Amino acid sequence: MNILLSGEFEASELHVWQQSLRAALPDAHWLGRDEALAVADTVEVAVVANPPPGSLRGLPKLRLIQSLWAGVDRLLLDPTLPAGAPIARMVDPAMNASMAETALWATLALHRGYFDYAQAQRRGLWQPRPQRRADSVAVLVLGLGQMGLTAAKRIAQQGYHVSGWSLRPRADAGDLDGIAAHAGQAALPDLLAQSNVVINLLPLTPATTGLLDARCFALMPRGAGLVNLARGAHVVDADLLAALDRSHLAHAVLDVFRTEPLPADHPYWSHPQVTLLPHVAAQTDPESASQVVAANVRALFEGRPLAHLVQVERGY
Amino acid sequence: MNILLSGEFEASELHVWQQSLRAALPDAHWLGRDEALAVADTVEVAVVANPPPGSLRGLPKLRLIQSLWAGVDRLLLDPTLPAGAPIARMVDPAMNASMAETALWATLALHRGYFDYAQAQRRGLWQPRPQRRADSVAVLVLGLGQMGLTAAKRIAQQGYHVSGWSLRPRADAGDLDGIAAHAGQAALPDLLAQSNVVINLLPLTPATTGLLDARCFALMPRGAGLVNLARGAHVVDADLLAALDRSHLAHAVLDVFRTEPLPADHPYWSHPQVTLLPHVAAQTDPESASQVVAANVRALFEGRPLAHLVQVERGY
């Protein structure tokens, strides 16, 4: 079987992916764009990682576009995307775990003041402060997909009060392993007002772009922390900086930005209340992700239902 | 019943403890040292928090010395400590949880490189690095008391390979909820050689003082991290600085020091591979600790066995 592999990779990264994909699907031939066009009528699957716009043109037989990344917001912006070919997101258990690790680390650090102690160390200050118990800290996870849910459960395991929110109700809404699940715009203000830590794991869609703005920050209690692990465009940067500067929000942990790498002159770099990461909260694990790709490709050729399909109209 | 309350507290802290202890033991009269001496024959219990040496002299009827702190190494150094009065350590579930939070936070940060990313942020560098899965990281917890065990279990829950070590075998040695428990000096070198993260939660005794020295660091694999949450005197500071400076150890998280507050000119303050905390890894929670005190005091007067007794000859 002929599969197009298209995306932006560093050379060493591409090599790792090629190895993992070959091991997971030993019968497949992995083709670049030019090779695929030469045998266009035989290419039914494209495996993509933010492919340059236009990369999927001229492949009339595509029956599956499988993303290697969890976020498909950039992919869906390509106006030349073939209509009708199903698109599948990556839902990689190793990546979910990795994202949950970052969310848990940020929650522990915000709760226990470890970012502030790091500042104090740089200023040579020995300043122990009173300690709060985890069960007095309320954490809100925005986005209850596989990543949000994994993070919410691991944080709840540590004794925090965890709520979850999504734009649309989950099919299995209600109490999920101790996480109170809420849905819809109307539910958000009350949840924000009760939350000491807000963790963003929403998909980026027109409905969620700019959701984390001045109105949202004003609803959060004074001293709360924000953790953005989803997409830079969820946050209105000027509003966040203003909320930090007046110390309404105590700290922000940011992994994603509207422009990446974050431009050298951006105020986030040197802001004492910002901890920034270079988009590393969760990387797809080539080994486990290749198994997910292989399972979906086999499902396609054996006529079974495909997993993790994107609903283009909702944007994820 | 008359109880001596003796220790070093800040005024606001003392107030909180008095409130919690009164609520937990409403029948008790809490006396200072001079008041206690005036009714010395009626004082059967002393509740102490690093009391100044000599504080327990002249109280011939003492039947229980209950520490509010988990570590009793300073208490046991008092040569005037009344012989024969049983000493109980604090074993506070809230404090165990709090210590486990710090151990877990440090493990996540070392595994995921978050201390390095903080350095990169200060230097304006966007440098994503490849990611390892938790199940490829080996964590060794030194000390398998209640704190060590709680920390080890929570870290294992996140998918890390966790081993535990104590100087003497535990009565229930073996596999404890997925933690491989080892004991004795002879077992330590192999464990150190296999561990990417070493977390110290040992009691401070003559046998463990200076345990974390050049020999121990040399056994650990290159790039490993050290987390000291127990006592400063467990670490030979010059050896640790040397191991960090030649980058054999990648990073150390230190909460405790031989002199506290850490002197302003100590090299730890500005060392880029040291994250230091002002002895806040786990504070005793007055509310839950007072319940532990009350349970032991009631046991004493009702003739039931006392909990958490110190074996003076082993030092904890």
Q: Note the pLDDT of residue B313.
A: 87
What residues contact residue A14 under an 8 Å CB cut-off, 6+ apart? none
> Which residue's entry shows tokens 């110390």?
A247
Q: Cβ contact (<8 Å) for B133 and A262?
A: no
Q: Cβ contact (<8 Å) for A101 and B117?
A: no
**Alpha-carbon separation of residue A44 from A72, A75, A162 (angstroms):** 20, 18, 43
Q: Distance (Å, rounded) from C-alpha B146 to C-alpha B98?
A: 12
Give the distance from residue B6's alpha carbon to the nearest chain A alpha carbon, in angstroms.
21
Q: Distance (Å, rounded) from C-alpha B168 to C-alpha A44?
A: 63
**Alpha-carbon separation of residue B281 from A97, B102, B198 (angstroms):** 25, 6, 16
**Residue range A63-118, pLDDT digits in tens:** 999 999 999 999 999 999 998 899 999 999 999 999 999 999 999 999 999 999 99
Percent of all residues in chain A with a pLDDT value above 70, rounded to a whole number: 99
Top pLDDT among B134 and B315 is at B134
Top pLDDT among B263 and A172 is at B263
**Residues A111/A116/A117/A118 CA torsion (nearest 10 deg):** 120
**Residue range A166-175, pLDDT digits in tens:** 999 877 655 6
Q: Cβ contact (<8 Å) for B278 and A126?
A: yes
- Confidence tier at B171 by pLDDT (50, 70, 90): confident
Give the distance from residue A184's alpha carbon to the nearest chain B alpha carbon, in angstroms.
31
Q: Note the pLDDT of residue B175.
A: 64
The closest CB to that of A269, out of B109, B124, B128, belongs to B124
Helix pair angle (A286-301, A93-112), 10° resolution = 140
Compare all CA atoms of chain A with the CA of B121 and give the residue at the minimum distance: A269
Q: Distance (Å, rounded) from C-alpha A68 to C-alpha A288?
A: 11
The closest CB to that of B108, out of A94, A104, A124, belongs to A104
Q: Cβ contact (<8 Å) for A285 and B104?
A: no
**Residue range A201-250, pLDDT digits in tens:** 999 999 999 999 999 999 999 999 999 999 999 999 999 999 999 999 99
What residues contact residue A173 under an 8 Å CB cut-off, 6+ apart? A181, A183
User: Domains in chain B, please, with CATH?
Assistant: 2-92+284-301 (3.40.50.720), 95-276 (3.40.50.720)
Q: Distance (Å, rounded) from C-alpha B150 to C-alpha B49?
A: 23
Give the distance from residue B43's alpha carbon to the nearest chain A alpha carbon, in angstroms.
32
ipTM for the assembly: 0.93
Q: Please tell me the least confidently modeled range out of A47-51, B224-228, B282-286.
A: B282-286
Q: Please tell me the least confidently modeled range out of A41-50, A202-211, B163-172, B283-292.
A: B163-172
Q: Note the pLDDT of residue A284.
A: 87
Q: Distance (Å, rounded) from C-alpha B131 to C-alpha A284?
A: 9
Q: How many CB atoms lie within 10 A of CB B265?
A: 8
Burial class (CB in 10 A: 0-12, 13-18, 19+), A284: buried
Q: What is the mean pLDDT of residues B217-221?
A: 98
- Confidence tier at A176 by pLDDT (50, 70, 90): confident
Q: Cβ contact (<8 Å) for B157 and A157?
A: yes
**Residue range A286-313, pLDDT digits in tens:** 999 999 999 999 999 999 999 999 999 8
Per DSSP, the residues of B198-213 read EEE-PPP-TTTTT-BS
Whether residue B283 is predicted with pLDDT greater than 90 in this model: the reply is no
- Confidence tier at B173 by pLDDT (50, 70, 90): low
The amino acid at residue A25 is L
8 A C-beta contact, residue B249 and residue B220: yes
Query: Most A CBs within 10 Å: which of B121, B123, B127, B265, as the mutation test of the A interface?
Result: B121
Q: What is the mean pLDDT of residues B273-302?
A: 96
Percent of all residues in chain A with a pLDDT value above 90, rounded to a whole number: 91
Report, as residue numbers or ranges, the catalytic residues of B.
231, 279
Whether residue B249 is predicted with pLDDT greater than 70 in this model: the reply is yes
- Confidence tier at B177 by pLDDT (50, 70, 90): confident
| Predicted structure pTM score | 0.93
Q: Note the pLDDT of residue A10.
A: 84
Task: Report helix, strand or coil for A85.
Answer: coil
Give the distance from residue B12's alpha carbon to the nearest chain A alpha carbon, in angstroms.
11
The amino acid at residue B18 is Q
Adjacent-strand bridge partners of A2: A29, A43
Q: Distance (Å, rounded) from C-alpha A290 to C-alpha A275?
A: 32
Q: Distance (Å, rounded) from C-alpha B65 to C-alpha B81?
A: 10
- CA nearest neighbour of B57 among B36, B86, B26, B87: B36
Q: Distance (Å, rounded) from C-alpha B44 to C-alpha A217?
A: 55
Q: Note the pLDDT of residue A170.
A: 79
Half-sphere exposure for B84 (CA within 13 Å, toward CB): 7
Q: Cβ contact (<8 Å) for B130 and A104?
A: no
The closest CB to that of A280, out of B121, B128, B277, belongs to B128
Q: Distance (Å, rounded) from C-alpha A53 to C-alpha A107?
A: 37
- The DSSP symbol for A197 reads E
Report, as residue numbers or ranges, the catalytic residues of A.
231, 279
Give the distance from residue A109's alpha carbon to the nearest chain B alpha carbon, in angstroms.
7
Compare all CA atoms of chain B with the CA of A128 and give the residue at the minimum distance: B278
8 A C-beta contact, residue A82 and residue A59: yes
The closest CB to that of A261, out of B126, B157, B277, belongs to B126
Q: Cβ contact (<8 Å) for B97 and A134?
A: yes
Q: Distance (Å, rounded) from C-alpha B37 to C-alpha A220?
A: 53
Whether residue B284 is predicted with pLDDT greater than 90 in this model: the reply is no
What is the end-to-end Cα distance of chain A in Å, rounded?
28
Q: Please tell me the least confidently modeled range out of A150-154, B50-54, B174-178.
A: B174-178
Q: Cβ contact (<8 Å) for A158 and B154?
A: yes
The closest CB to that of A276, out of B101, B121, B133, belongs to B121
**Residue range A247-285, pLDDT digits in tens:** 999 999 999 999 999 999 999 999 999 999 999 999 889
Q: How many CB atoms lie within 10 A of CB A287?
A: 15
Q: Cβ contact (<8 Å) for A285 and B105?
A: no
The closest CB to that of B112, out of A102, A154, A285, belongs to A102
Collect all residues of chain A within an 8 Å Cβ-Cβ radius of residue B124: 264, 269-270
Q: Distance (Å, rounded) from C-alpha B287 to C-alpha B95?
A: 11
Q: How many CB atoms lie within 10 A of CB B246?
A: 10
8 A C-beta contact, residue B106 and residue B253: yes
**Between chain A and chain B, how many beta carbons pairs sit less than 8 Å apart?**
104
Residues of A with CB under 8 A from a CB of B: 94, 97-98, 101-102, 104-105, 108-109, 111-114, 117-118, 120-121, 124, 126-131, 133-134, 154, 157-159, 260-262, 264, 269-270, 275-280, 283, 285
Give, in degrees to the nearest 5, the angle at Cα A289 between A283 and A295.
160
Give the distance from residue A66's alpha carbon to the nearest chain B alpha carbon, in angstroms.
23
